[in-house]
Structure 1
């Protein structure tokens, strides 16, 4: 066979034959190593890409429950960043078949944390071993005692459900609330009382691929590159129902969606201001942070961004259209922003770094007010200190109205 080592004809040929075999084996091993390495890298890139754009079918339960004492109204968790953070939170358990609300820390130390059980909405806490602490606190608009209605917003993908909570007095001031990545409308309910007291009608919207609104054709998140069209539809709905001016309020990716709306919508003139809680401002920074958090080499993270942003990556991502990171670059377009913006972000966010928010505030101090927190984690600022959150946003709204 051409190219294969020739069998030795006598003892003198044996060393030469052994060297040729050794070179061939070394080459095969080297090629095999690089093939395995490349396949491994491709698997990592694929998993990271799909984690970013594929909506989660099931949530994990990372928090271990040590003990539940219903008589004392207390629950004991393993200590971690979430369970140690003061405030009021949702606690989901039994694969989201159970929901409780927990409050003040009443005991514990380096290993465990004990918290007060505020109430159990559904499910049975007895015997629960794991769950997750979440930023939601309210589950439905009826909890506030204000009149509300279930409405439908017509989007390009079809009818999307929304909650409409009218202001106590007739007004043309509206707020459109936009939840974050992996969330749903109840995430926004924490802000209802603040805006309602300020005299705003609240419209809490859903958007494509969030499990409530119609999915996109590809069933993938666009990181704001596509979802803003659904918020544009909400602006049209608000205008048709009496809104004279609209404040956008967005959490996490909902912040990115809100910013894309004012930068790209033909109806952005109706927006009078934006409130952003833990917003995704700089996706390059966010993805680099997530790569570091997951101990991925920098070249892998760069490949993830290129995969999401190029046509050849669609086989991996499943995106119908690549994500346009240039259009998502709010910092590069900061000079195009025209309305007042109020940002709340915590330095210990742990999911979306506060750096993008700080840089946007530095680039546009004329329109951006920045309330930086120290200990509140991602999109849980209200949960950590609802009074401070209310003062911060209410004060900004008062200035906006003036």
Structure 2
């Protein structure tokens, strides 16, 4: 539900009572992953999505039933949920299962052929639970790192219990079970928060892996990833716009103050007039950062890429012709970079879309960044055999799913 932090922070500030449906598990192909949420307030207003439209109507009804019930609805794990996810709501959490019905493609289900489980929770108008969620929404809305851990399956008295782990190490709330259970959940939440991931972990009700199995959904909210664009050129202006659309915190850097101005890049979060390599050496980057070098000038490119290709970032791309690329590689080898480091360079930058205009070029670069971040091939989906919604992190997720 943290993907709706801005809207739900406003709802809590206004004192609204509402219910939230959150995707807790996905099997096969599904439009959205764990953590995707849809919320409905007592007046019927709806925000968010859990499936891109496939089962929104049924999920809306579950939220509405939860808000209108007397609190006697089934708890998570009861047998009231059918294959289509129909069932009564309630103040206690409800787990709804949605899947594709081969006999009736128009029945409630996922036409993409996948399956998902959705947890429906009623958020009261007051009380400790609301205060905890309000804190989570505020932290997420203000781009401060936070992980919300909730029990989605296990002993009935634990289901729906939540705790918060902040990026500063602080912990709020708790599951109300053994101290070892909270300690294990906090450790798992911190691990997912460190990587900015959302997923489920299975632990034991007595802590670690001891006791009855407990499934915990950990939703991580971290500051937006960085996109740093080097070179204050026309292509950069369009790439800034594309980067903001994709949710990046965008910085433009150029050594020429006359070109590196906020007036030329009004949509950028930051415009820096500084030598690119000097700026990159002092600024903060992480494993989600994308670096785009659009200067195609060796005196800027080589010192900059000498630093960029040694950093553990998500993407490094450089603009230029194929001849420029070969010359650049030779200069970088002379600077001491090895073949493994050079292999990280996306150059010429972007996917082959036949782009000509700055807008089209920005689109091709943005598409390559998405493919690099998500493990996409960059080839047309038509005629392909890869899962459309493949998760590149799934094979290395450890206990998270």
Q: Which has the higher contact order (CA 8 A, sep 6+)?
A: 1
Q: TM-score, normalised by structure 1?
A: 0.26
Normalising by the residue count of structure 2, what TM-score does the alignment of the two structures yield? 0.26
